[in-house]
Amino acid sequence: MRRIDLNEAGRFLRENDCFLILMHGSPDGDTLGCGYALCGALQQIGKKAKAVCPDPIPKKFDYVYREIEQQEFEPQTIVTVDVADAKLLYGMRELGEKAALCIDHHVSNTEYAERLLLAPEYAAACELMFELLSSMPEVKITSCIADCLYTGIATDSGCFKYSNTSPQTHVYAAELMKLGADIVPINYAMFDMKSQGRLKLEQTVLSKIRYYDAGKIAVIDVTQELIDSIEGIDSEDVGALAAIPRQIEGVDIGICIKEKKPGLFKASLRSSENADVAAIAQQFGGGGHARAAGCAFECSLEEAERQLVWACAKALERS
């Protein structure tokens, strides 16, 4: 692995073809925005490219691939976007481990790709993708590409309210607005719109929230049985639950534990300035950002919760 800059990344994209762009599982706005912005740009300059995700893409993101041509070809060049670790590609992990280029912003990136374009100080990988595409004069950032990039920036910054938001984040969002990003429907779809199924899911989860460490840690869980019992919800509805525990007054660390399959649970952690949840997640083979991170457990739900709460309490004690 070697780290590269924008110029070398642009040269790499020009000199290669037949791109397979991999986006991480449980897709969010940043990985989807990056993947489809890059795919659209490459197709625009005459390259063959397709973006794929190991999990279904929630319907509310339909607009990000509206101008993407469905191309069939034998992949020659693998690129990953917003993927800190190849294991986040789930069933596509082996492909990810063959990546020629990774474009990312996670400080926990495991440097699995042959080349790494990394900006851990950025709120979103889409900020870095905006810089990359803007550095390539042959690429025109269309309104569709602008929509993709704005989506990643807005979602990973929590609509510009997370602590990772910088002046640059606002400047890039403004530039994308000038380039045609349609922010009103995007912001509604990303931050305000909720299905009836999602509201029922939230109601059920909140009714059994658990508090630890004098209310500084809050935990919710989502079992597959619960997901199956509610009609009209998708992976995005489940993923959105991660932010809820930290929204409660007095909570420094919010934990959402989701069942992926029997015996396998994924935990999402969110924190205040009083804890680095990336460091906590790394103790369990995960990673992410200081204020938002995740990890997985192959054990019972109760054991996963016990280990996480203990680690979080220790982190708060040290702070």
Q: What is the CATH number of the domain that holds 227?
A: 3.10.310.30
CA dist list (Å): 104 to 34, 279, 314: 9, 18, 30
240 and 119, same domain (yes or no):
no
How far apart are alpha carbons 158 and 152 in whole angstroms?
10
303 and 202, same domain (yes or no):
yes
pLDDT of residue 170: 98
What phi and psi, each to the nearest 5 degrees, are found at residue 217?
-125, 130
pLDDT digits (tens, 9 = 90+) for 210-252: 999 999 999 999 999 999 999 988 877 888 899 999 999 999 9
109 and 178, same domain (yes or no):
yes
60 and 183, same domain (yes or no):
yes
Domain with 65 in it? 2-190
151 and 292, same domain (yes or no):
no
Q: What is the DSSP string of 32-77?
A: HHHHHHHHHHHHHTT--EEEE-SSPPPGGGGGGGTT---------E
Token pair for residue 248?
Answer: 């409660």
Structure letter (DSSP) for residue 246: G
Cβ atoms of 249 and 218 within 8 Å: the answer is: no
Q: How many domains does the chain have?
A: 2
241 and 121, same domain (yes or no):
no
Q: Which of 190, 206, 230 is the last residue of a domain?
A: 190
Identify the bridge partners of residue 78 per DSSP, sorted by sequence position.
Answer: 20
Q: Is the four-CA dihedral 237, 243, 249, 251 of positive or negative sign?
A: positive
pLDDT of residue 256: 97
How far apart are alpha carbons 287 and 271 in whole angstroms?
14
Beta strands in the chain (DSSP E): 2-3, 19-23, 49-52, 77-81, 101-104, 115-118, 210-212, 217-222, 253-261, 264-271, 287-288, 292-297
Q: Which of 140, 160, 190 is the last residue of a domain?
A: 190
Cβ atoms of 294 and 84 within 8 Å: the answer is: no
18 and 129, same domain (yes or no):
yes
pLDDT of residue 26: 87
127 and 210, same domain (yes or no):
no
What is the per-residue burial (b if ≥16 Cβ within 10 Å, else e) of 157-189?
bbeeebebbeeebeebbebbeebebebeebbeb
Q: Which of 190, 220, 251 is the last residue of a domain?
A: 190
pLDDT of residue 232: 83
Q: In angstroms, how far is CA 233 from the centroid of its own chain?
A: 19
Cβ atoms of 216 and 251 within 8 Å: the answer is: yes
Say which residues have a Cβ less than 8 Å from residue 69's Cβ, sequence separation at least 6.
43
11 and 127, same domain (yes or no):
yes
pLDDT of residue 289: 86
46 and 123, same domain (yes or no):
yes
How far apart are alpha carbons 32 and 313 in whole angstroms?
34
Give the global pTM. 0.88
Give me the residues of the chain with pLDDT under 70, please.
none
How far apart are alpha carbons 246 and 67 in whole angstroms?
37
Only one residue has tokens 């996480």, namely 308
* DSSP H or E stretch at residue 167: helix 167-178
183 and 257, same domain (yes or no):
no
16 and 62, same domain (yes or no):
yes
Token pair for residue 232?
Answer: 């009209």
SS (H, E, C) 264-306: EEEEEEEECCCCCHHHHHHCCCCEECCCEEEEEECCCHHHHHH
- CATH code: domain of residue 61: 3.90.1640.10
How far apart are alpha carbons 171 and 157 in whole angstroms?
13
